[in-house]
Amino acid sequence: TSRDNEGADHDSYPLRNNGRGSHEANSQNYAAETNGTHGIPIDEFEQIILDQHNKYRRQMCANDLEEDDDLHEKAHKRAHTLANGQDIQLSDDFSENVYILDTADPSKITGEIIVKAWYDEYHQYNVKNESSAIHFSQLVWKNCKKLG
């Protein structure tokens, strides 16, 4: 759910549906808190994710995202669900990018690497077929305003 400037709730959907959200589209990203941050405090890891999103968004002339506590709470719950191997399906309640890497080397899972992997899909992007680069589209989608 997202909120417009008047505080009204609206539903927004992942780009895999049609990419059209409301006045404020939501984006969620998940770090598996059990091992995904390899010793970095979760708040520092989340700041890196936000900073990286905004770095790439600026390259595409999109406004910076702001943190949202409600989305953070949803993201943490979703991360635990995914980390436990449950419900790998993407949510229809909000837009999301999910990064999953099965590795014994946790140094391969950094905020910079995760967001860059999504951004690097721009090579595959086709304006006639937005689903060709779903993560990239979500990362730079200009209607997105908040991140959790």
Q: Which CATH architecture has domain 2-147?
A: 3-Layer(aba) Sandwich (3.40)
Q: What is the pLDDT of residues 49-97, one digit of tens each?
A: 999 999 999 999 999 999 999 988 888 888 888 778 776 666 677 788 8
How many whole angstroms separate alpha carbon 26 and alpha carbon 22? Answer: 9
pLDDT at 6 over 70: no
Region 6-20 average pLDDT: 34
Region 112-126 average pLDDT: 89
Tokens 């400037």 belong to which residue? 5
How many whole angstroms separate alpha carbon 76 and alpha carbon 125? Answer: 29
Q: Which residues contact 106 (CB under 8 A, 6 or more apart)?
A: 35, 36, 38
